[in-house]
Amino acid sequence: MVVLHLIKNIHCYIHSIAILLFKSLFTRKIRYFKKLRKTVFCDVYHR
């Protein structure tokens, strides 16, 4: 029973870490794309 509870907790812990990692990666990518789009827009605008 205790082992099962522990496994469940570990699973939840890993899942939350995975979600956090995915979110951080995703936001970083979005930020990068926004920056890229902004630079492209500035280049087009200033020509």
Cα separation, 4 vs 11, in Å, equals: 10
Report pLDDT for 42: 67
The beta-carbon contacts of 1-6 under 8 Å, at least 24 apart in sequence, are none
**What pLDDT, in 10s, does the model give residues 1-47?**
688 888 888 888 888 898 888 888 888 888 888 887 777 776 666 65
The helix/strand/coil state of 43 is helix
